């Protein structure tokens, strides 16, 4: 496993990191297997784990807390997220900052997360949604400074709305934000346009999320794939979106180099961009952990393949 600096923090994070949304909230998760997978990843050098209160109302924080406490010598980093008080995803300029992240709400959820995780300080606290119309809010500025000076968090970050990578740049320019979490993968290349140059300029840590397009780039979906009604993926892979995804996957399979799998190509595409500090892959079984952790040593893709993959960019727009 190779490690990269997380922006201006002093964290050296593994190139391949772990997202625990699936194991905490998706159908088909098995807690015993999830714990086994987390433990295996730490043994293979993974040291960054991304959770959120909203992942099973503290279930994800319990998983990562147990892991960190069991590996006290390994210096594992745990990230979590404060849910919006109005419980609206995605963020929007139609909501006032005071409806979403008032100080009282943020401090309450910091306490709840710490209670579940079982340690006194969160390595990286993120807001689970963000809208840049809030960037100049005094309460926002004062609160981050206080969270750090009270020793409750070591670093602060924003998780940006799906398919709106520019909606956060104003906040980055306040100097208060250490990291940004953004969707970046073979399909979603838009962060390269405006966000990444700013991250480079300001030395902001970049956490690439949804590296396998929620499973679209896993190579496992077929025209017959369905999800339980209460599983978020039932909407994301509605028949229309599933069809569009599979057409694109077919074109990617046609350019796969010999002996390379689609998930490997997808993760190495992200790895090839030096502005990315780490990518958080959703994993729930040990076989995926082994395959994905090995990608760090395989390194970046060839320049020829990267330039071919540019053509597979897929700009999607959020529906209201």
Ligand X SMILES: NC(=O)c1ccc[n+]([C@@H]2O[C@H](COP(=O)([O-])OP(=O)(O)OC[C@H]3O[C@@H](n4cnc5c(N)ncnc54)[C@H](OP(=O)(O)O)[C@@H]3O)[C@@H](O)[C@H]2O)c1
- In the complex, which residues of this chain contact ligand X (CB under 6 A)? 19-22, 50, 128, 159, 181, 209-215, 218, 220, 263, 280-285, 288, 291-292
Q: How far is the CB of 112 from ligand X (least distance, A)?
A: 17
Q: How far is the CB of 238 from ligand X (least distance, A)?
A: 16
Task: In whole angstroms, give the CA distance from residue 119 to residue 113.
Answer: 9
Nearer to ligand X, 46 or 212 (CB): 212
Nearer to ligand X, 92 or 146 (CB): 92
- By beta carbon distance, the residue nearest ligand X is 282
Give me the phi and psi of 241, to 5 degrees please.
Answer: -70, -35
Nearer to ligand X, 144 or 267 (CB): 267
Question: Are 285 and 37 a contacting pair, CB within 8 Å?
Answer: yes
Task: In whole angstroms, give the CA distance from residue 204 to residue 119.
Answer: 26
Long-range contacts of 26-29 (CB under 8 A, 24+ apart): 26/231, 26/232, 26/233, 26/284, 27/227, 27/228, 27/230, 27/231, 28/228, 28/231, 28/284, 29/284
Nearer to ligand X, 150 or 313 (CB): 313
Nearer to ligand X, 36 or 146 (CB): 36
Classify residue 257 by its DSSP letter. Answer: P
Q: How far is the CB of 177 from ligand X (least distance, A)?
A: 14
Q: Residue 54 has which token pair? A: 């909203």
Which whole-number Å values give the CA distances from 215 to 9, 122, 163, 227, in the listed order? 30, 29, 17, 12
Nearer to ligand X, 133 or 261 (CB): 261
Q: How far is the CB of 182 from ligand X (least distance, A)?
A: 9
Task: In whole angstroms, give the CA distance from residue 13 to residue 4.
Answer: 5
Q: How far is the CB of 235 from ligand X (least distance, A)?
A: 13
Q: How far is the CB of 264 from ligand X (least distance, A)?
A: 8
How long is the chain?
Answer: 320
Residue ranges of E strands in 238-298 = 278-282
Nearer to ligand X, 66 or 146 (CB): 66
Return the sign of the alpha-carbon dihedral for residues 164, 166, 170, 174. Answer: positive
> Which residues fall within 8 angstroms of residue 150, CB to CB, at 6 or more apart?
none
Q: How far is the CB of 214 from ligand X (least distance, A)?
A: 5
């Amino acid at each position: 496993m190779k490690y990269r600096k997380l922006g201006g923090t002093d964290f050296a994070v593994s190139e391949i990191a772990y997202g625990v949304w699936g194991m905490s909230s998706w159908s088909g998760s098995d807690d015993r297997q999830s714990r086994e997978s987390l433990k295996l990843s730490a043994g293979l050098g993974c040291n960054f784990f991304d959770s959120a209160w909203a992942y099973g109302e503290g279930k994800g924080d319990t998983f990562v807390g147990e892991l960190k406490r069991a590996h006290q010598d390994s210096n594992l980093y745990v990230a979590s997220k404060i849910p919006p008080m109005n419980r609206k995803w995605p963020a929007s300029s139609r909501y006032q900052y005071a409806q979403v992240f008032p100080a009282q709400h943020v401090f309450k959820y910091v306490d709840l997360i710490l209670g579940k995780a079982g340690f006194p300080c969160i390595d990286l606290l993120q807001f689970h949604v963000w809208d840049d119309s809030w960037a100049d809010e005094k309460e926002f500025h004062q609160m981050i400074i206080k969270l750090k000076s009270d020793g409750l968090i070591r670093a602060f970050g924003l998780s940006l709305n799906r398919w709106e990578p520019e909606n956060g740049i104003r906040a980055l320019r306040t100097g208060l934000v250490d990291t940004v979490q953004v969707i970046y993968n073979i399909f979603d290349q838009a962060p390269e346009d405006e966000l990444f140059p700013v991250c480079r300029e300001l030395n902001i840590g970049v956490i690439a999320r949804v590296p396998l397009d929620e499973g679209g780039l896993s190579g496992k979906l077929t025209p017959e794939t369905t999800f339980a009604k209460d599983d978020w993926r039932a909407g994301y892979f509605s028949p229309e979106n599933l069809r569009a995804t599979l057409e694109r996957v077919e074109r990617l399979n046609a350019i796969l180099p010999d002996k390379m799998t689609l998930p490997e190509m997808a993760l190495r595409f992200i790895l090839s961009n030096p502005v990315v500090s780490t990518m958080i892959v959703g994993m729930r079984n040990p076989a995926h952990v082994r395959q994905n952790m090995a990608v760090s040593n395989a390194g970046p893709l060839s320049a020829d393949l990267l330039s071919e993959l540019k053509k597979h960019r897929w700009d999607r727009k959020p529906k209201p």
